[in-house]
A = this chain, B = another copy of it.
Amino acid sequence: MVTLSEENYLKTIYHLGKQGTIAVSTNAIADKIETKASSVTDMIKKLADKNLANYIKYQGVSLTNKGRLAAALVIRKHRLWEVFLVNNLNFSWDEVHEVAEELEHIKSLKLVDELDAFLEFPTHDPHGDPIPDKDGNYSPIKSINILEIEEGKEGVLSFVKDSSDVFLKYLNKNNLALGDSIKVLNVEPFDRSLSIETKSKKLIISREAAENLYLSL
């Protein structure tokens, strides 16, 4: 049996481990989970005891296959619930995360699969993140960062890297939503801000904002 707390650690290690292939550090986990390093050490040991993680003292952790699958299942549930909340319960994309954090821990396997079917097997959540299948696999993101697109080209907003409240609300305010067509006009050399054009209007976004927007061509 995997506890709620263990699931949260698995998910965090999974996410932190995505980029580099190196083991995840104790402090990195502590920061993400907003807990103390000593608590992380305790939990890591528990995960290793359950064969969910590989752990060598002072060397960080990585997930075992078993742990990676468990983590992917939690992420699958999180993202499916987010889709449900947005598509069926009138939540906006900046309201779903907190609730999904609770719903992702509901155990029933039938529930996940039936929810998946009910939602008609979505491949991405409301923030453009891919939804893992039962085996933990998903097709890799093929969208590219808006800063890497040449001036004059157009694409569809299909993923936001930062899905925090503040950023999503900033996008709402500027009428930018997933699925919108966006044309890259030009980059201001001074501060590297970006002029873009949507169906409704032209606007300028900062480099920080641009770094989180991904388009598919």
Contacts and interface: CB of A to CB of B under 8 A. Distances in A.
Interface stretch (A66-74, A85-93, A145-153, A156-164): A85-93
Q: What number of copies of this chain does the assembly contain?
A: 2
A106 B99 contact: yes
Nearest to A102: B106
Contacts of A105: 102
Interface of A is mostly: helix
B90 A114 contact: yes
Nearest to A114: B89
A73 to B, nearest CB: 15
A90 B116 CA distance: 12
A111 interface: yes
A1 to B, nearest CB: 14
Interface in A39-62: none
A110 B88 contact: no
Interface of A: 85, 88-91, 95, 98-99, 102-103, 105-108, 110-111, 114-115, 117-118
Top-6 shortest CB links A-B = A89-B114, A99-B108, A102-B106, A90-B114, A99-B111, A88-B118
